[in-house]
Chain A
Amino acid sequence: MPSRPYPTVLKPYGRALVALAQARPEVVCLTGDLTRQCEIDLFQETFPDRFIHAGMAEANMVSMAGTLARAGFMPFVHSFGVFSTRRPLDQIINSVAYPNLPVRIVGFMPGVSSPGGPSHQAIEDVALMRAIPNMTVIDVADAIETERALPLIADIPGPVYLRLKRGEIPVIFDEGHSFSLTEVARVRDGQDVALIVSGMMLSPALAAAEVLEEAGVSVQVVNVPVIKPIDATGIAATVARVRAVVTCENHSIIGGLGSAVAEVMAEAGSGRPLRRIGLRDTFAEGARTAPPLFQKYGLGTNDIIAAAWQALGRDGAAPRAAPVTASPGEYAPV
């Protein structure tokens, strides 16, 4: 795997969607007034006849996507995560999920990756989507996963919520990375603590694992791009091989990955201590940039290290990670 700081690329989703649309003529693209921000200016240029401006009208956009799917199209619906899940929740449920239609709801700017304040920070989108029957929920970690995921998503018969980072997208995995919709990915093996992560939290978890290893803690890192349906077998097998578990998500600790893992652990009777990294039932706020928000709300590398240290019952102060500086075009976790 590449090492920190990670190289980044622009518009991996936009390119992957165009590639998918070249292979699948039924793919159509809808936008809620956030075309460039959702990387689909590439689609608009390539397939103008399959590109639909819905305007700032998310309810109408989602209900239209439902009937376009009934008519044989595969609609990809785009906005920021806050607007694509909160505003049209009833439409997602009734116009899309209940009829189990192949509509793909795409939400950019997860969690506190937006410094735009609570109106722009999707901190409960995974929880909302996870509660809906028939819905698949995906939070990919990097550009490689984005590219690999798209063709697989196209084959899911029902609706999908796809959560994507906006802007410069890190490349964390190697080109050879095999992406699965059904199995979690063990990125690093270890016996003391498992860091079970999704989306943007993979890179700080990998950084935390290195620091913990230096301090004599054996760390397993498991990436969970598909939060629902969750790979309960893979999660239970991971948990069985360690003494403590830390989940890491750029989302509220209520209803997202941490809750999903807790449910699996409880039903398996695993009895391991669990710590959940995420927003602790609070709204965040606006800022100039996102990193201070990751820091303030406990989503940084050192927060993961401290949580693992505590969950294992280690004495003394937890080790700390050396700061990593990223040059322009590079990505380093907080």
Chain B
Amino acid sequence: MTSDPALGRLADRLRLNALNMVAPHGFGYLGQALSSAELFAALYANHYRPGRDRIVISPGHYIVVAFAAAAETGQMDRALLDTYGHDGAPLEAIGTEKSPAVDLTCGSLGQGLSGAVGFALGQKMKRENGARVFAMISDGELEEGQVWEAAMFAAHNRLDNLVALLDANDSQVDGPISSITTIDPIADKFESFGWAAFDVDGHDADAIDAAIARAVAAGRPAVVIARTSTRQGLACLPDGVDGHFIKLPPELADAARTELEARLA
């Protein structure tokens, strides 16, 4: 679907990195990487400017993708990826204060957008013109009331330097979000709060890339809603796989690695 082959390949490299980080443990947050790979690829390749912008990964479970993206774009030593999730390692499986390469990550969900709002407000107060805050959030988090407190505050205070990137993969611990809480229409909700909203196919890297560009230029807080799947990019995953926490026995990990490497060859 993606016509920019570079972005599509970067997305697959993020998937492969995440697979190699999760595989030694036999299970983990691979589904989050599969669903958000194009989102992170477009953000890190074309929009996020480390050192100038702030990056928030609200759901700490997504830190695996942020680490992969930081390594792919030269902000983090690639060798660190091998330490992911091991005892005493610098890279923990759920993001913490020790997590490198991000300005904020939250294991307790629903707090990241507020954190991003605080950064955006700080940039305004310090007159850091042109600086932006990118906040990766997830659809399950929208069930937390705090997200909407943050959304109201951001619009009222005209934080046009804030862009939220929402991985709408319809996955939470107890099952598909749509079976637990109706969170759609997401775009209408944000728009009614005073945000700009861009609802796109989250596996079309070109569409994501263009939506982020429009969000940056929206002149008000903006959200890119990426409609995604936790199985994207790995045909070998069995039916009924738990996208929040994928079990990955060695044979499946090998098959997945073969599939991704063949596509990247």
Whether A63 and B153, one on each chain, are in contact in the complex, defined by CB atoms closer than 8 angstroms, is no
Whether B119 and A70, one on each chain, are in contact in the complex, defined by CB atoms closer than 8 angstroms, is yes
Whether B146 and A60, one on each chain, are in contact in the complex, defined by CB atoms closer than 8 angstroms, is yes
Whether B97 and A98, one on each chain, are in contact in the complex, defined by CB atoms closer than 8 angstroms, is yes
Q: How far is the CA of A50 from the CA of B125 in the complex (A)?
A: 8
Residues on A with C-beta less than 8 A from B114 are: 59-60, 63-64, 67, 91, 95
Whether A91 and B146, one on each chain, are in contact in the complex, defined by CB atoms closer than 8 angstroms, is yes
Whether B122 and A73, one on each chain, are in contact in the complex, defined by CB atoms closer than 8 angstroms, is yes
Return 8 A-B CB contacts under 8 Å, by A number.
Answer: A59-B146, A63-B146, A66-B115, A67-B114, A67-B119, A71-B123, A71-B126, A90-B108
For chain B, residues 105 to 123, give those with C-beta under 8 angstroms from any C-beta of chain A: 106-108, 110-111, 114-119, 121-123
Q: How far is the CA of A72 from the CA of B121 in the complex (A)?
A: 12
Q: In the complex, which of the residues A52, A63, A71 contacts B111, with contact meaning CB atoms closer than 8 Å? A: A63
Q: In the complex, which of the residues B97, B119, B146, B149 contacts A71, with contact meaning CB atoms closer than 8 Å? A: B119
B14 at interface by CB-CB < 8 Å? no
Residues on A with C-beta less than 8 A from B97 are: 98-99
Q: Which of B104, B106, B118 has the most CB of A within 10 A?
A: B118
A49 at interface by CB-CB < 8 Å? yes
Q: In the complex, which of the residues A60, A66, A72, A94 contacts B149, with contact meaning CB atoms closer than 8 Å? A: A60
Binding site for B on A (CB under 8 A): 28, 49-50, 52, 54-55, 57, 59-60, 63-68, 70-73, 90-91, 93-95, 98-99
Shortest 9 CB-CB contacts between residues of A and residues of B: A67-B118, A63-B114, A64-B118, A71-B122, A60-B149, A57-B149, A59-B146, A67-B115, A60-B114
Contact with A along B119-145 (1 / 0, CB 8 A): 101110110000000000000000001
Q: In the complex, which of the residues B107, B119, B121, B146 contacts A52, with contact meaning CB atoms closer than 8 Å? A: B121
Chain B: CB-nearest residue to A65? B118
Q: Which of A59, A60, A99 has the most CB of B within 10 A?
A: A60
Q: B126 to chain A: closest CB distance in Å?
A: 7
Q: How far is the CA of A64 from the CA of B119 in the complex (A)?
A: 8
Whether B125 and A49, one on each chain, are in contact in the complex, defined by CB atoms closer than 8 angstroms, is yes
Chain A: CB-nearest residue to B153? A60
Q: How far is the CA of A307 from the CA of B152 in the complex (A)?
A: 51
Chain A: CB-nearest residue to B123? A71
Whether B149 and A67, one on each chain, are in contact in the complex, defined by CB atoms closer than 8 angstroms, is no
Residues on B with C-beta less than 8 A from A64 are: 114-115, 117-118, 121, 150, 153
Q: B72 to chain A: closest CB distance in Å?
A: 25
Dominant secondary structure at the A interface: helix
Q: In the complex, which of the residues B103, B107, B149 contacts A59, with contact meaning CB atoms closer than 8 Å? A: B149
Q: In the complex, which of the residues A59, A73, A93, A98 contacts B125, with contact meaning CB atoms closer than 8 Å? A: A73
Q: A60-B146, A68-B121, A95-B111 are in contact. List 19 more A-B contacts (CB 8 A).
A: A50-B125, A55-B152, A55-B153, A57-B146, A59-B146, A59-B149, A60-B153, A63-B115, A63-B118, A64-B114, A67-B104, A67-B116, A70-B104, A71-B123, A90-B108, A91-B114, A93-B108, A94-B107, A95-B114
Chain B: CB-nearest residue to A56? B149
Residues on A with C-beta less than 8 A from B153 are: 54-55, 57, 60, 64
Q: B161 to chain A: closest CB distance in Å?
A: 13
Q: Which of B108, B115, B125, B152 has the most CB of A within 10 A?
A: B115
Given contacts A60-B150, A94-B107, contact A67 B122 (CB under 8 A): yes
Whether A60 and B117, one on each chain, are in contact in the complex, defined by CB atoms closer than 8 angstroms, is yes
Q: B103 to chain A: closest CB distance in Å?
A: 7
Q: How far is the CA of A60 from the CA of B104 in the complex (A)?
A: 15
Q: How far is the CA of A90 from the CA of B146 in the complex (A)?
A: 11
Q: A91 to chain B: closest CB distance in Å?
A: 6
Residues on B with C-beta less than 8 A from A50 are: 125
Q: How far is the CA of A52 from the CA of B149 in the complex (A)?
A: 14
Residues on B with C-beta less than 8 A from A95 are: 106, 111, 114-115
Residues on A with C-beta less than 8 A from B110 are: 59
Residues on B with C-beta less than 8 A from A65 are: 118
Given contacts A94-B107, A94-B108, contact A68 B118 (CB under 8 A): yes
Q: B166 to chain A: closest CB distance in Å?
A: 17
Whether B118 and A71, one on each chain, are in contact in the complex, defined by CB atoms closer than 8 angstroms, is yes
Q: How far is the CA of A55 from the CA of B108 in the complex (A)?
A: 22
Chain A: CB-nearest residue to B147? A60
Contact with A along B8-20 (1 / 0, CB 8 A): 0000000000000
Q: B46 to chain A: closest CB distance in Å?
A: 25
Q: How far is the CA of A57 from the CA of B149 in the complex (A)?
A: 6
Q: In the complex, which of the residues A52, A57, A93 contacts B152, with contact meaning CB atoms closer than 8 Å? A: A57
